[in-house]
Amino acid sequence: MSEFTYGWKSLLAATIGTMCGIFTLTNYTQGFFVGPVTSEFGWSAPQFFLSYTVLMCSGLLTGPLIGYIAQRVGLRTVGIVGLIGHSLAYVVLSLNTGSLMLWYLSWALVAILGAGSLPIIWTGVLNNWFTKHRGKAIGITMAGTGLGAFLLPPIVEFLIANHGWRTAYRGIGLGALLISLPIVSALFKEKPDSSTATDGEVMANKVETWGLTTKDAMRTKQFWILGAVLFLTVIVVAGLLSNFERIMTEQGFERSSIAQIAAVMGLTVIIGRLMVGALVDRFWAPGVAACFFLVATLGLLILVGTQVTMATALLVAVMIGLAAGAELDLLAYLTGKYFGPAHYPAIFGLIIAFFTVGAGIAPPLFGMAAQMFQGYGTMLSISIGLLLVSILLFLSLGRYPDEE
């Protein structure tokens, strides 16, 4: 595997950057903050989760913009700035004294300062280093979110329980920077061009530079189908992840048990990432996606239709974790596969806007539905329907373009 021989340094740095980036820290921790923060300030859960909407809907601007900047300034510079900005913005969150407007503005700041740590950056470098094993490389990189999902819940719960939610925000923000910055600074590099690379590097990492422009990509049905399916699936996945603590509390579990279940889900996310990466290199990726989200649909059916015990809760966590693990991998892989690597950052920046809007509205949507219907059962049933529609959309993407 000569691609891994020459590209392993950037691959490792991309994985760490993903683990410490904006998507991982926000998706896998906010459910543990909602109770302490709302108790101290007297806010409702939907008011708290509206901050997540502010964060993710800002992706309508920051996603395409950061893709445009990265294509001109370089992935490495943007990634380093994003990690630093993301960490500092988390410290700002801890300084709030009860102002709801300041809370929302702080999350907008997280979106702006942390945009450089989006998956656009970490997966963008892989298109140059990997061709034959690109799916595996994306799977390994996006397994960084699974590592975060495994490590963060017990750490956050410990910090909140023993030192308060402010210290927890500062701890995970600064801790992520201390871990990621040295590794990314030292190892994260784009593939050398022929003027600076050795003969072996050039031959091992030679890639076809085919690819649609952003305008041409937006004229294809695959662009809009991919946007729609990502919008729907992220509503379900982000809604479940952000409300997971409250959903499990409704099922009668204690916070310590929920943290354990969430950690198992995090491990499953890692497994899902790696499985998807290996499978899409061998099989049609939309079909792989359909299988993973069918498993998640069955998990929700168990959650809605049975009496949940610790054993079944762990099973559901595994089934949902596999889908959560598949989602971002597929987003990155399918973007490169259908539209090519030539303009990948810019096109990915546009497609990720669908993802961020869905992720933004999901947490408050789940929270409001729980208030309206006196529990999460109705929203979980709706989620089953959304996943079934998403499976059909995945299967309608069609074959890969001939240009590759």
- Of the ranges 9-18, 254-263, 308-317, which one carries the lowest mean pLDDT score? 254-263
pLDDT of residue 403: 52
CB 377 within 8 Å of CB 353: no
**Domains with residue ranges and CATH for the chain:** 2-193+200-395 (1.20.1250.20)
Burial class (CB in 10 A: 0-12, 13-18, 19+), 120: buried
Instruction: Report the chain's mean pLDDT, rounded to a whole number.
Output: 83
Query: Residue 117 pLDDT more than 60?
Result: yes
**Two tokens, residue 165:** 């939610």
3-state secondary structure of 376: coil
d(CA 179, CA 198): 30
**Two tokens, residue 352:** 């990720």
Q: Structure pTM?
A: 0.69
**Two tokens, residue 357:** 């809007």
**Two tokens, residue 154:** 């017990």
**Two tokens, residue 298:** 């069955």
d(CA 50, CA 171): 23
Interacting residues of 389 by C-beta distance below 8 A, sequence separation 6+: 232
Sign of the CA dihedral running 215, 217, 222, 224: negative
- Of the ranges 21-35, 161-175, 202-216, 330-344, which one carries the lowest mean pLDDT score? 202-216
Query: Residue 201 pLDDT more than 60?
Result: no
Percent of the chain with pLDDT over 70: 94
Place of tokens 């559901």: 316
156 to each of 136, 162, 232, 362, how far by Cα in Å?
30, 10, 28, 22
Place of tokens 């600076």: 196
d(CA 132, CA 117): 26
Alpha helices of 164-243 — where are they, by DSSP H? 165-187, 199-204, 214-218, 221-242
pLDDT of residue 192: 65
First to last CA, the chain: 21
pLDDT digits (tens, 9 = 90+) for 235-247: 998 888 778 878 8
CB atoms within 10 A of CB 119: 27
Query: Residue 146 pLDDT more than 90?
Result: no
User: CA nearest 58: which of 141, 98, 145, 118?
Assistant: 118
d(CA 404, CA 108): 38
pLDDT of residue 232: 92
d(CA 313, CA 384): 17
CB 63 within 8 Å of CB 373: no
CB atoms within 10 A of CB 252: 11
d(CA 109, CA 88): 10
pLDDT of residue 90: 92
* Mean pLDDT value of segment 220-234: 90
